[in-house]
Structure 1
Amino acid sequence: MTANRSNSSRSRRRRSGPAHAPTRLRKGPLWGGLAALVLLGVIGFAAVGWTSTSTSPGQGEAAARSGSTAPAAEPTGRAASSPAPTGPSVSPSVSRSEKPSATPAKPVIPATGPGTFTTASGSSTKVGKGTALRYRVDVEQGLDLSATDVARQVEEILAHRRGWTADGHSAFQRVSGGTSDFVIRVATPGTVDKICGQYGLDTGGEVNCRVDQNVMVNLERWLLATPVYAKDVTAYRALIINHEVGHFLGHGHVTCPGPGQPAPAMMQQIKGMRGCVPNVWPYDEQGRLITGPAVP
């Protein structure tokens, strides 16, 4: 029920009785005038009493039924002697419009895009030992996504101490021109399906893939992660890059090594954790590869 209950004080004031003095008091101008003043004072006191006793309880009942609370901007600590307002303290339309603002809007993800890409400019320093694998970072055109920002995140992931450089022989360097060994592309689900499908992989508009020199990142996964990582999308982005670049390095799928163990980066965690706990890095803090039984 909305807080839209009307105030009854006005109607009660209209029913309070005649505004003129009774006939038996009309014995003279002086007595009639004094009697009228006394009676008007009594009626005025009654009107104030109805306002103070009927309006406040009515609002309290409406608030209790609706379960609503006053907005932050609503004044508090009103003086006891001040008359209560004659209308609802919060408009129902305002209270409804304020509730959705507490929840961030879900990003709009296009089903498909033009299939053309913008390459992040500049380059990075080499990370890791050995001959560096040169890579580009591309973002499909038309997306509200900065190629520069994506490139920065990818650089941080590949340079992490628990990333693939922990194997002691892998190295990476981002470039924006010239020859490259592989390219990391963030694209709409439709474009990922198209490129991965050219190599016989069915990504179903949902998952990422690595085909030939292309590490294809589904925009939906980049922005929303999965239910397991919904509260840490940044961590899931590391899992995407580590998993697909791991395929480029020659690593195949593995499964959970045992209940309570960290999930390997090469495990298809999007299909279920199988008792493992979330983990996005190929190596642990001691430099040991986190792996499990190979998936046929």
Structure 2
Amino acid sequence: MTAHKATSARRRRRRAPARGRLWAGLAALAALGVTGFAAEGWRTPDAGGTHAQVRTEPTESTESTEPAERTTIRPTDTAKASPRPSASSPAAPRKPDIPATGPGTFTTAPGTGARVGKGTVLRYRVDVETGLDLSAAGVAAQVERVLGDRRGWTADGHSAFQRVSSGATDFVVRVATPGTVDTICGQYGLDTGGEVNCSVDRNVMVNLRRWLLATPVYAKDVTAYRALIINHEVGHFLGHGHVGCPGPGQPAPAMMQQIKGMHGCVPNVWPYDENGNYITGPAVP
């Protein structure tokens, strides 16, 4: 009996209308499509996190048969990153090229400067040794500013100067290589050792090394040290001898050999102060 009822039920299901079978098939296809989309469009991220890679897979386009560009984003290991110098980082300053010696010939700065000071005018010329990477006119302009400064030798009330390029001169300021300075100064018994300047006869000899590098005390203000060179050596020409430091904390006299040490004095490159007072100290050999 039971078997008979089952057979009748199967017969009735086979006689179900065709419309019902059509709708059932469409519903099954729709469910399969949704399931497939969800499986492709969502993925479980890697639980490790730091090693995850996100990729965009190639997709098909109705306009092109070429796959879309593949993009991979990888984590940056900052612990292993090596810093690189910036292209805009300032380079270390290049030390000037100072030849040991030169030809011993000179180029004279052209033109004539203004007269400065009161009294009898001392005419001077400015020369630069041939072949140096220095403008004779540029050196002359600096020398003129130093000798014309109110803190310079004109403050004594009877010294006057004028730069010339030809004719008779009372003295010559010459910037030369260490070897040439040694040669000229050595002719008068002075040993400059390739390092220092001198004033002999009518020659104020300026060592190129000191003109470009100054000394450790003045390394950050080479222009100031150039003023000291001119004031010191022209001071010798005017008859002034060496003096020492007048006392700790006092301005160093221009006639002090500051290259040998400050001995408690503070840097100063002028023979006179702003008030016209002469800066000096005890006489030394």
**TM-score for the superposition, normalised by structure 2:** 0.76
Question: Aligned pair in 2 of structure 1 residues 259, 39: CA closer, same or farther (>3 Å)?
Answer: same
Tell me which residue corresponds to 1:54: 75
After TM superposition, give the deviation of residue 39 of structure 1 in Å: 4.9
Distance 2:97 2:41 in 1: 67
| Structure 1 residue 102, shift from structure 2 partner | 3.5
Q: 2:283 aligns with which of 269, 272, 294?
A: 294
Offset at 1:31? 5.9
Alignment size in residue pairs? 236
What's the secondary structure of 1:276's corresponding residue?
Answer: coil
The 3 A distance-change label for structure 1 pair 222 and 36 is: same
- Choose the corresponding residue for 1:273, options 249, 259, 262: 262
Residue pairs, 1:75-154, within 5 angstroms:
92=84, 95=85, 99=89, 101-154=90-143
Which one-letter code corresponds to 2:200 in the other structure? V
CA contact (8 A) 2:53 2:74 kept: no
| 2:211 partner letter | W
CA RMSD of aligned residues (A): 2.6
Q: 1:136 to 1:41 in 2, by over 3 A?
A: same
Give a deviation string over 1:48-72, Cα, whole Å, max 9, x none. Answer: 18x66722xx1x3245xx5x4xxxx
| Cα distance between partner residues in 2 of 1:62 and 1:234 | 47
1:48 alignment partner AA: V
> How far has the Cα of 1:36 moved from its partner?
9.0
**Aligned mates of 1:269, 1:290 — CA distance in 2:** 14
SS of the equivalent of 1:42 reads coil
Helix, strand or coil at the partner of 2:168: coil
| Alignment-derived partner of residue 43 in structure 2 | 42
Check 1:40–1:246 CA distance in 2 against 1; reply closer, same or farther (3 A cut): same
Separation in structure 1 between the aligned mates of residue 231 and residue 249 of structure 2, nearest angstrom: 21
Unaligned 5+ runs, structure 2: 1-28, 47-51, 56-71
- Give the 3-state SS of the residue equivalent to 2:253 in structure 1: coil
Q: What corresponds to 1:261 in structure 2?
A: 250
Percent pairwise identity:
73
Task: Measure how far apart 1:111 and its partner are.
Answer: 1.2
Helix, strand or coil at the partner of 1:243: helix
Task: Give deviations 1:85-123, integer Å, cap 9, x for gaps.
Answer: xxxxxxx4xx28765x34322111111111110000001
Measure, in 1, the Cα distance between the counterparts of 2:256 and 2:277: 16
Aligned-partner residue type, residue 100 of structure 2: A
Q: Greater shift after overlay, 257-266 or 34-43?
A: 34-43
Counterpart residue number, 2:66:
none
Residue matched to 1:202: 191
Matches of 2:33 and 2:176 in 1, distance apart?
Answer: 91
Q: How big is each residue's C-alpha offset from its partner over 1:190-245, in whole Å with a ceiling of 9 and x where there is no partner?
A: 11111111111111111111111110101111111111011111110000000000
After TM superposition, what 4+ stretches of structure 1 lie above 3 angstroms from structure 2?
30-37, 43-46, 96-99
> Would you say 1:188 and 2:177 are equivalent positions?
yes
Rg larger in structure: 2
Structure 2 residue identity aligned to 1:230: A
Higher helix share: 1
- The one-letter code matched in structure 2 to 1:42 is R
Q: Distance in 1 between matches of 2:119 and 2:126?
A: 21
Partner of 1:212: 201
Secondary structure of the residue aligned to 2:191 is: coil
Instruction: State which of 155, 159, 162 in structure 2 corresponds to 1:173.
Output: 162
Distance 1:150 1:32 in 2: 91
Q: Which ranges in structure 1 are unaligned for 5 or more consecutive residues? A: 1-27, 69-91
- Quote the Cα distance in structure 1 between the aligned partners of 2:194 and 2:88: 34
Would the alpha carbon gap of residues 39 and 157 (structure 1) be closer, same or farther in structure 2, given more than 3 Å must change? same
CA pair 34-144 structure 1, distance change in 2 beyond 3 A: farther
Q: TM-score, normalised by structure 1?
A: 0.73
